[in-house]
């Protein structure tokens, strides 16, 4: 089938594998429209449909036959280990099997020097690793006492073990098999059985003869349109605006301020390829019925539950924690629920050891390129500095308010603080994420050097300042003005609903999410 894709690949200057991948994501839209027409009373047909489409993607289109059978091997191993091993070590056995398999393939890819434009097993395997390890923990939670579980675990626990067909359908869910979105097994079965649409208040909004709430197609095709816009921006502007500009001979001859300013232009374009892939696959998932999160303001249906990225929040972040929460959101959930919480001893709060294990897990999950580790290491210092800055500066700029009183209008200083936070967060993101794109450790160091090490100067300088007496100074100032926050851990946490969200909020609660590294899927078209 390469002959079908080669002319387009030559026309846009991309590899055949890149064009194949985009084609699969686009073909998933009409296939999703067929999927949703299969009655929910025939769940076996829905499972078989997903499996058939996945086989179609891997065999005649992508032609990565061994990849399919490797994924199938991990799926079957997980299924039987989770079914027959009733011990508390079962989730870790599954974790070692699937994560070890992924790491071996990362090493093979590095040894043979496969280009990141080449579509092979590690991309889909990264998504599958999240799904299989989450499944193992959900099964384990289903065997525990309810009082031992937190609300996320309680809502996701599996008490009835699935049939092999159900599990294969879940593992090969076709809109997300190549690049995500990752979803857990309870979500998948709700999609298959359409149980989320059976609530009385949802059924009351449905017109006669309709099974799904309105707005699904509009949301899906809007995502498709935006995904193509992001992809077009990357294809058209990527050759000129990218992080590799810092490696060109003439770059260091420019004044430092100009180098830094020019480098910022490459950040949004480099990220556009991720926005494109994640947005395209989100739209196809929505068409199948995934992502409905209830009705919002004025009864408008929300179809944002399959989102993996919030573009506006990333490009204009109010602070670095908000930025991380909006990037690769599904992977952050996986790291939090299946690593960060699970390595913490029972009865204790997560600490630095839990954070380090989470960082290393994320690093191994992504691959073995040294650029990943430079980004993750830098990410640890960034989150520490950002936490200190927010704790020291914000109370002085945002005075406390009572529950019934409206927030006061922002002062000029607060507005300047917000603008500075947005600008600084974006600059730090571009600086710290550049090794993730460049991959080579040597070239990453060269890039940072060409930028005058501005990111390190800002982050390390702020940490030295805060720990050398800056924190004590600002706490004294806060106390003097009567805005000193309560001791850490002393404030009551907001109540959570069954989805792990704070009551009255539509965003997931990120329990100490600031410790998580900026998880970046990299199995997408690159230059």
Convert the pLDDT of each residue in 390-416 to its tens digit. 888 888 887 666 556 666 777 788 888
In a domain, 380, yes or no: yes
Cβ neighbourhood burial of 454 (10 Å; 0-12, 13-18, 19+): middle
Model confidence band, residue 208 (pLDDT cutoffs 50, 70, 90): low
Q: Is the pLDDT of residue 210 over 80?
A: no
Indicate the pLDDT class of residue 461, thresholds 50, 70 and 90: very high
Query: How many H helices and E strands in the chain?
Result: 21, 0
Cα–Cα nearest to 22, from 229, 277, 275, 354:
277
Q: Which of 163, 193, 223 is the last residue of a domain?
A: 193
Is 116 part of any domain? Answer: yes
Q: Which of 455, 481, 507 corresponds to the end of one domain?
A: 481
Domain that holds residue 19: 1-193
Burial of residue 184 (number of CB atoms within 10 Å: 0-12, 13-18, 19+): buried
The reply to whether 359 falls in a domain is yes
Classify 429 in phi/psi space as left (phi over 0), alpha (psi -120 to 50) or beta.
alpha
Whether residue 291 lies inside any domain: the answer is no
Q: Is a pLDDT exceeding 80 seen at residue 518?
A: no
User: What are the C-alpha distances in Å from 212 to residues 48, 58, 202?
Assistant: 21, 30, 9
Q: If pLDDT is split at 50, 70 and 90, which confidence band does 133 have?
A: very high
Question: Which of 119-133, 397-411, 415-429 is the most confident on average?
Answer: 119-133
Q: What is the rounded CA–CA span in Å between residue 297 and residue 275?
A: 26
State pLDDT tens for residues 360-376: 888 889 998 899 889 98
**pTM for the model:** 0.87
How many domains, the chain?
2
* pLDDT beyond 70 at 516: no
Quote the tokens at residue 352. Answer: 């630095």
CB 70 within 8 A of CB 171: no
Q: What is the pLDDT of residue 70?
A: 97
The pLDDT, as a whole number, for residue 399 is 64
DSSP output for 41-101: T-HHHHHHHHHHHHHHIIIIIS--HHHHHHHHHHHHHHHHHHHH--STTHHHHHHHHHHHH
Residue 87 falls inside a structural domain:
yes
Domain end, chosen from 161, 193, 225, is at 193
Q: Has residue 66 been placed in a domain?
A: yes
Active site positions, annotated: 366
Over the stretch 16-70, which tens digit does the pLDDT of each residue have? Answer: 999 999 999 999 999 999 999 999 999 999 999 999 999 999 999 999 999 999 9
For residue 42, being part of any structural domain is answered with yes
DSSP at 249: G
C-beta pairs of 194-201 under 8 Å, 24+ apart in sequence: 194/40, 194/289, 196/292, 197/289, 197/292, 201/295
Does residue 226 fall inside a structural domain? no
The DSSP symbol for 492 reads: P
Which residue did the predictor score with more confidence, 497 or 206? 206
* Of the candidate ranges 287-291, 400-404, 418-422, the one whose mean pLDDT is the lowest: 400-404
For residue 501, the model assigns a pLDDT of: 36
94 burial (CB, 10 Å; 0-12 / 13-18 / 19+) is: buried
pLDDT computed for residue 496 by the predictor: 41
- pLDDT of 401: 60
Residue 252 is encoded by which pair of tokens? Answer: 């260091």
What confidence category does residue 322 fall into, taking pLDDT thresholds of 50, 70 and 90? confident
Is residue 295 within 8 A of residue 304, CB to CB? The reply is: no
Per-residue HEC secondary structure of 474-490 comes to HHHHHHHHCCCCCCCCC
209 pLDDT band, cuts 50/70/90, is low
The 3-state secondary structure of 433-444 reads: HHHHHHCCHHHH
Distances (CA, A) of 472 to 399, 477, 483: 19, 9, 14
């Amino acid at each position: 089938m390469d002959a079908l894709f080669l002319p387009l690949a030559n026309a846009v200057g991309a590899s055949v594998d890149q064009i194949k991948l985009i084609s699969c994501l686009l073909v998933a839209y009409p296939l999703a429209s067929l999927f949703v027409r299969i009655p929910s009373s025939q769940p076996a047909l829905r499972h078989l449909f997903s499996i058939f489409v996945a086989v179609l993607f891997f065999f005649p289109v992508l032609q990565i036959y061994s990849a399919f059978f490797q994924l199938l091997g991990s799926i079957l191993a997980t299924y039987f280990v989770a079914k027959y091993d009733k011990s508390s070590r079962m989730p870790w056995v599954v974790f070692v099997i699937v994560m070890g398999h992924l790491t071996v393939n990362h090493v093979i890819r590095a040894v043979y020097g496969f280009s990141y434009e080449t579509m092979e097993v590690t991309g889909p395997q990264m998504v599958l690793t999240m799904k299989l390890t989450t499944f193992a923990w959900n099964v384990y939670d289903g065997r525990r006492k309810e009082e031992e579980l937190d609300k996320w675990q309680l809502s996701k626990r599996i008490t009835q073990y699935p049939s092999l067909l159900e599990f294969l359908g879940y593992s090969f869910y076709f809109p997300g098999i190549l690049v995500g979105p990752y979803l857990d097994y309870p979500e998948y079965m709700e999609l298959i059985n359409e149980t989320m649409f059976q609530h009385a208040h949802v059924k009351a909004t449905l017109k006669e003869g309709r099974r799904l709430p309105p707005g699904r197609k509009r949301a899906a095709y809007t995502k498709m349109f935006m995904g193509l816009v992001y992809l077009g921006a990357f294809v058209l502007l990527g050759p000129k605006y990218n992080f590799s500009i810092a490696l060109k001979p003439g770059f260091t001859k420019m004044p430092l301020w100009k180098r830094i300013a020019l480098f910022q232009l490459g950040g949004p374009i480099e990220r556009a390829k991720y926005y494109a892939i994640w947005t395209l696959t989100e739209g196809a998932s929505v068409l199948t019925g995934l992502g409905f999160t209830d009705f919002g303001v004025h009864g408008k249906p929300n179809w944002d539950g399959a989102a993996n990225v919030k573009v506006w929040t990333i490009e204009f972040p109010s602070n670095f924690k908000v930025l991380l929460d909006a990037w690769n959101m599904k992977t952050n959930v996986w790291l939090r629920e299946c690593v960060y919480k699970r390595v913490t001893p029972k009865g204790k709060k997560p600490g630095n050891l839990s954070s380090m294990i989470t960082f290393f897990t994320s690093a191994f999950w992504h691959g073995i390129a040294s650029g990943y580790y430079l980004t993750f290491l830098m990410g640890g210092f960034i989150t520490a500095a950002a936490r200190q800055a927010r704790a020291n500066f914000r109370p002085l700029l945002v005075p406390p308010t009572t529950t019934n009183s409206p927030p006061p209008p922002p002062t000029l200083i607060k507005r300047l603080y917000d603008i500075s936070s947005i600008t600084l967060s974006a600059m730090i993101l571009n600086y710290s994420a550049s090794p993730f794109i460049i991959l080579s450790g040597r070239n990453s160091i060269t890039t940072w050097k060409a930028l005058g090490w501005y990111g390190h100067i800002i982050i390390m300088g702020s940490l030295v300042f805060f720990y050398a007496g800056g924190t004590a100074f600002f706490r004294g100032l806060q106390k003097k003005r009567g805005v000193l926050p309560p001791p850490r851990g002393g404030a009551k946490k907001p109540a959570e609903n069954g989805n792990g969200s704070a009551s009255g909020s539509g965003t997931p609660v990120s329990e100490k999410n600031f410790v998580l590294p900026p998880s970046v899927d990299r199995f997408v078209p690159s230059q």
